[in-house]
Chain A
Amino acid sequence: TQLLEQSPQFLSIQEGENLTVYCNSSSVFSSLQWYRQEPGEGPVLLVTVVTGGEVKKLKRLTFQFGDARKDSSLHITAAQPGDTGLYLCAGAETGGFKTIFGAGTRLFVKA
């Protein structure tokens, strides 16, 4: 079974700081998604990356897929309290029909 490891597990920062969250595996994924989940709500899809080396930007969020399609990062510039939440990476198994979720990074941005 393919695994996704996220780091850090928890991050508490001040408003205006930058941060990077990592999602790593020893396995190749055909694509990778990032979700944000707020307490008591379902995950909301932020982005899907498909091509090795791909970079996507969503306002202050920058997502990168590793060249070998084994890892991904999410960088947030000038974090705001509204960015607080659980960030989940999820990968599509190669040759399979399952989504593998990472354990998540819990982000808290203090005003």
Chain B
Amino acid sequence: DTEVTQTPKHLVMGMTNKKSLKCEQHMGHRAMYWYKQKAKKPPELMFVYSYEKLSINESVPSRFSPECPNSSLLNLHLHALQPEDSALYLCASSPPGTGERYGYTFGSGTRLTVV
């Protein structure tokens, strides 16, 4: 299995809603990442987990809350988002310490629209 699976593929949520994005991989990768990609822009790093521990938070607002319950799963909990948070949210994985140098396996993303 060489895939990163993200659910849901599309999500529309109101500014008062609470929702979660899910990401799963079974490649044995111990580093997992959340990226945000706005239209016509490159991906921007949000969070990095290494061995299920948060290692990098790129000054992301607290309305985004990541969670890594085990080595295969990565969640992103969303609460009180703003319309400008609408974007494609990408999960990625790699062997620990190698993604930056050798590349990532990305999921197909969750297209989030905040209304």
Contacts and interface: CB of A to CB of B under 8 A. Distances in A.
Given A41-B108, A42-B106, A42-B109, A103 B56 contact: no
B78 to A, nearest CB: 19
Indicate the size class of the contact surface on chain B. Answer: 20 to 34
B83 interface: no
- Mostly, the A contact residues are strand
Interface residues on A, range: 20 to 34
B108 A45 contact: no
Interface stretch (A13-21, A53-61, A65-73, A92-100): A92-100
B26 to A, nearest CB: 17
Contacts of B88: 40
Contacts of A92: 100-101
B43 A40 contact: no
Contact of A97 (B6, B56, B109): B56
Contact of B100 (A42, A50, A98): A98
B61 interface: no
A43 interface: yes
B101 A41 contact: no
Contact of A45 (B43, B90, B105): B105
Contact of A33 (B4, B103, B108): B103
B108 to A, nearest CB: 5
Nearest to A41: B108
